[in-house]
Amino acid sequence: MIKTAIMVDGAFYRKRAYYFWGDVAPEERAKELNYYCWRHIKEEKAGAELYRIFYYDCPPSSKNIYHPLTKKTISLGTSEQYKWTITFFKELMHQRKFALRLGHLAEEQAFFNLKPEITRKLINESLLIKDLKESDFFLDIKQKGVDMRIGVDIASVTFKKQVDRIILISGDSDFVPAAKQARREGVDFILDPMRAPIKDDLFEHIDGMRTKVPHAPIITK
């Protein structure tokens, strides 16, 4: 049996899941993620045993932030996104073999910014400033500590000989040093980018790439 750890870049997974399967209730998204990860184990022809599913993300911000268009202060802690994320995390905690690794948001640097496509329209004058809507803005807030926790866990399970294989659900090349170290120690390092394009330097330092993204919505029942 191949003892396997699955590591999930949470922000990446949620973005890709939304792209493929749309907006769903937090309870359903948690079940969907659980089912998605277990498919990697159950569909392994050589036989696999799940060590643990590590999920990396940040708690949502409850900060009050000024919106430049409405000229009002918005309380993020009362938003639907805040409530959705808190419920999603609680549901993940109830899933078998899940371990949450939470970083934090750089709230002191948070602000509302124009979406890139809206900026392009303003530059080519296909959209005027007076026609801007609140939905043309997004909350720009960076994660801190998430990449570090992924790298530390990759190193930890590798050097402690706790797993034979690591499956990383992400599309980020920041994990190349950790992936290289794991491979040098004999760990089979598999990337699941969920059909997202990846950089050459990441593809060069993995043992394989596979995804469990079907074209239809995931059925968890």
Rg (CA), the chain: 19
121-174, pLDDT tens digit by residue?
Answer: 999 999 999 999 999 999 898 888 899 999 999 999 999 999 999 999 998 878
Q: What percent of the chain has pLDDT over 90?
A: 78
pLDDT tier at 87 (50, 70, 90 boundaries)? very high
Question: Which of 167, 169, 178, 137 has the alpha carbon at shortest distance from 15?
Answer: 169
> Domains in the chain, start-ordered, CATH in brackets?
2-209 (3.40.50.1010)
36-64, pLDDT tens digit by residue?
Answer: 999 999 998 888 999 999 999 999 999 99
- Residue 50 is encoded by which pair of tokens? 């799940």
Q: How far is CA 39 from CA 5, 8, 71, 188, in A?
A: 13, 14, 47, 18
> 21-36 in b/e burial notation, b at 16+ Cβ within 10 A?
beebebeebbbbbbbb
Confidence (pTM): 0.89
pLDDT (0 to 100) of residue 17: 96
